[in-house]
Structure 1
Amino acid sequence: MVALISAVVLAATGIVYGQNGKLRPEETALKNLQWRAIGPAIMGGRIDDFAVVEGNSSTFYVGAATGGVWKTTNAGTTFEPVFDDQGTASIGDLCIAPSDPNIIWVGSGEPNNRQSSSWGDGIYRSLDGGKTWQNMGLRDSKHIARVVIDPRDPNVVYVAALGHLWGPNRERGVYKTTDSGKTWSQSLFVNEDTGVTDIAMDPRSPGTLYAAAYQRRRTPWGFNGGGPGSALYRTVDGGASWVRLTRDLPEGITGRIGIDIFRGDPNIVYAIIENAKGGVFRSEDRGTTWKKMSDVDSRPMYYSQIRIDPNNDQRIWQCAANMYTSEDGGRTWSQNVVTRIHGDYHGLWIDPANSNHMLAGSDGGIHQSYDRGRSWDFINTIPLGQFYEISLDNQKPYMVYGGLQDNGSWAGPSGTLNQEGITNDEWFRTGGGDGFYSVVDTSDPGTIYVESQDGNVARLEL
């Protein structure tokens, strides 16, 4: 933390990069300082995806929006950061090769379209269970929403590349490799404004895939999440050709689309479609025809994740601010099954060996259930909080204050007498909502000013 604070101060002085090959002034000042974790882990942070080893659910990986990749081998009791030395900490998707659990692919750059969405620098591969990584290209894709691997051949990988959020570019669409990332072919390209936000592979016929094209553009003054480029596509020849699916699906301006295939019978496919006449759609013939099940599609630009229980095609889950659950194939929905944990869900995994076992990832971190979502364990053992801004006071040791994305404002110590280091219980909340600037009165550390969304400012007197 000292290094971070020093770097902020030096950056503010206007020091610029030197070009004579010597250490820059800030590098000289900081070269002997080391990073020291001070937390907190108490509130979690945005989770984008999980990847769980088939047949061994105690080993899984967590992809955080800005916190890299974490691995556990004991069902979440402890975690190890396995991606900290790579070129980005923003994760879009994770995928483990079905034929070899040592092979993991990471698509960088979260795909959730916020003003604060961080971008990545391509696709990464590990051949040793996350011990080492290699960047395998697609660096200009910026945001990778999904990675799928052929269960018969781990060298065959498909990537859903969203492309730039703030402007046009060509490196977007569906990319395919047949040589484990040495070379890539652009299998599906719509236009420079349209990327692909989801892709699903038929587990019994891996040459059949569905891709959700998504036209989007963020500007400093707003967001346009839709256009004529958005559509659902299918290939039956491993991406050599794609057909746009239109029969029984809504026409007109379309936004974000989510897809899932029923593991027990891949004829059954679900899509959640953002459209004036959109909602949840079900196909029973691999996408040739569709039936609209309901209108439910909550804030699709930020969620649009639909999951079918791998053991029951009538039980459907939909990620949103609240978790939606259907027991009748998507006709009706309930929001009262998953309760009392942090909302804004982006990742959901259901154990194919036991549907009662689930992992949920939200803006509030990692949650695990063993009774199909009725109760949850909050895994608050890793620091994932997303600080927008931080400040300090003049106490010794000084306190650190900051505002976090969707997790309020908090304060905690820079040092402690505990041999274990700074713990969660030494941090305390100073504000709610989306925390932003948090400033303490330099003459009275008991007075703290905090900011939250929509221009709200509050004063806390301890």
Structure 2
Amino acid sequence: MKIRLAAFTAGLLLTSAALIAEDKLPVVDLSGDTDRQVVIAAGTKETYQGHPTTLLMPDGKTMYCVWCINHGGAAGPMAKSVDGGRTWTRLDDQLPPGFKTHQNCPSIYRMVDAAGQERLWVFSAAQGSRSGPGMPSIMSDDGGQSWKEMPPLGYRCVMTFSSVVRLKDGRYLGLYHKGPDGADRSPLEVLQTITADGGLTWSEPHVVASVEGKDPCE
């Protein structure tokens, strides 16, 4: 009986393994569906419009998009859509002049503090140059109608917050990565910091992911 049971169990395991191996993930390719594609900023042979991040507002229609010029280059561009991304308007000339000096992968987030004040934030990796003050930002407290430059957080990083999530208690947790002295080199590690006032101030960052022989990043 024990031999038969063992053989039966082994057979089930082999069958399950075969099913898993044959279960291919579906692939959805929208590259040819040009009717659903919108170009906000066309690149050229000389200029790469790179690393866009988007924010969808609570109305389900208003969207903001920010990106940088060339790979990991300077920030500056921003566009807004009021029809769910079908059409876009550039807002570059409405932003603080210093935003063009912010470097590498600007990322946009919406945060609401305990008093209900909404703020939109665009964080970048560094100010002036990649070795400049860490995590500069621009902020809007009127739904994106106007923007002002805020003091850098001072966190040296490769890329600014790649994720900002709201916690159950209403605070927000931000995650970013860096190498030694903030450089983009091994060993990379992921850090977290928390804001309790809608992004105005943040806690001292601490490491949450550091793997020997690996470089966790965004």
**If the TM-score is normalised by the length of the shorter chain, which range does it land in?**
0.5 to 0.7
Query: How far apart, CA to CA, are the structure 2 residues paired with 1:215 and 1:184?
Result: 24
**Residue 187 (structure 1) shift:** 3.7
Letter of the aligned partner of 1:244 in structure 2?
A: L
| Corresponding position of 2:14 | none
**Residue 201 (structure 1) shift:** 0.6
Counterpart contact for 2:139–2:148, Cα < 8 Å: yes
- Write out aligned runs for 1:155-234 (5 A): 183-192=35-44, 193-204=48-59, 206-217=60-71, 225-227=72-74, 230-234=76-80
Q: What TM-score comes out, normalization by structure 2 length?
A: 0.59
| Corresponding position of 1:135 | 28
Structure 1 residues 335 and 267: alpha-carbon distance in aligned structure 2, compared to 1, 3 A threshold? closer
2:107 is equivalent to residue 258 of structure 1: yes
**Residue 335 (structure 1) shift:** 2.8
Structure 1 residues 184 and 299: alpha-carbon distance in aligned structure 2, compared to 1, 3 A threshold? farther
- Write out aligned runs for 1:76-91 (5 A): 85=24
Letter of the aligned partner of 1:323 in structure 2?
A: Q
Unaligned runs of 5+ in 1: 1-36, 38-80, 86-131, 140-180, 218-224, 344-363, 365-402, 408-462
Query: How far apart, CA to CA, are the structure 1 residues paired with 2:144 and 2:204?
Result: 28
| Partner of residue 192 from structure 2, selected from 303, 323, 328 | 323
2:123 is equivalent to residue 268 of structure 1: no
Structure 1 residues 317 and 185: alpha-carbon distance in aligned structure 2, compared to 1, 3 A threshold? same
**Residue 299 (structure 1) shift:** 4.9
| Corresponding position of 1:243 | 90
**Residue 297 (structure 1) shift:** 5.9
Query: Aligned with 2:121: secondary structure?
Result: strand
2:198 is equivalent to residue 334 of structure 1: no
Counterpart contact for 2:111–2:120, Cα < 8 Å: yes
Counterpart contact for 1:260–1:308, Cα < 8 Å: no
- Write out aligned runs for 1:6-405 (5 A): 85=24, 132-138=25-31, 183-192=35-44, 193-204=48-59, 206-217=60-71, 225-227=72-74, 230-239=76-85, 240-245=87-92, 246-248=94-96, 250-254=98-102, 255-262=104-111, 267-274=118-125, 275-276=127-128, 279-296=136-153, 298-307=155-164, 309=166, 315-320=171-176, 321-335=190-204, 341-343=208-210, 364=211, 404-405=213-214
Counterpart contact for 2:112–2:198, Cα < 8 Å: no
Counterpart contact for 1:294–1:332, Cα < 8 Å: no
Q: What TM-score comes out, normalization by structure 1 length?
A: 0.31
Letter of the aligned partner of 1:212 in structure 2?
A: V
Query: Aligned with 2:91: secondary structure?
Result: strand
Counterpart contact for 2:136–2:152, Cα < 8 Å: yes
**Residue 133 (structure 1) shift:** 1.8
**Residue 270 (structure 1) shift:** 1.9
**Residue 319 (structure 1) shift:** 1.4
Query: Aligned with 2:30: secondary structure?
Result: coil
Letter of the aligned partner of 2:91 in structure 1?
A: R
Fraction of identical pairs, as percent: 16
Letter of the aligned partner of 2:81 in structure 1?
A: T
Structure 1 residues 251 and 284: alpha-carbon distance in aligned structure 2, compared to 1, 3 A threshold? closer
Letter of the aligned partner of 1:258 in structure 2?
A: S
Query: How far apart, CA to CA, are the structure 2 residues paired with 1:231 and 1:301?
Result: 20
Letter of the aligned partner of 2:88 in structure 1?
A: S
**Residue 207 (structure 1) shift:** 1.8
**Residue 287 (structure 1) shift:** 1.4
Structure 1 residues 273 and 259: alpha-carbon distance in aligned structure 2, compared to 1, 3 A threshold? same
Query: Aligned with 2:83: secondary structure?
Result: coil
Letter of the aligned partner of 1:243 in structure 2?
A: R
Query: How far apart, CA to CA, are the structure 2 residues paired with 1:133 and 1:263?
Result: 37
**Residue 333 (structure 1) shift:** 2.4
**Residue 198 (structure 1) shift:** 0.9
Higher helix share: 2
**Residue 292 (structure 1) shift:** 4.2
Query: How far apart, CA to CA, are the structure 2 residues paired with 1:191 and 1:300?
Result: 27
**Residue 216 (structure 1) shift:** 3.1
Unaligned runs of 5+ in 2: 1-16, 177-189
User: CA offsets per residue over residues 129-168 of structure 1, 9 Å max, x none?
Assistant: xxx52322339xxxxxxxxxxxxxxxxxxxxxxxxxxxxx
Query: Aligned with 1:252: secondary structure?
Result: helix
Query: How far apart, CA to CA, are the structure 1 residues paired with 2:150 and 2:199?
Result: 5
Letter of the aligned partner of 1:185 in structure 2?
A: Q
| Corresponding position of 1:453 | none
Structural RMSD (CA)? 3.8
Structure 1 residues 199 and 252: alpha-carbon distance in aligned structure 2, compared to 1, 3 A threshold? closer
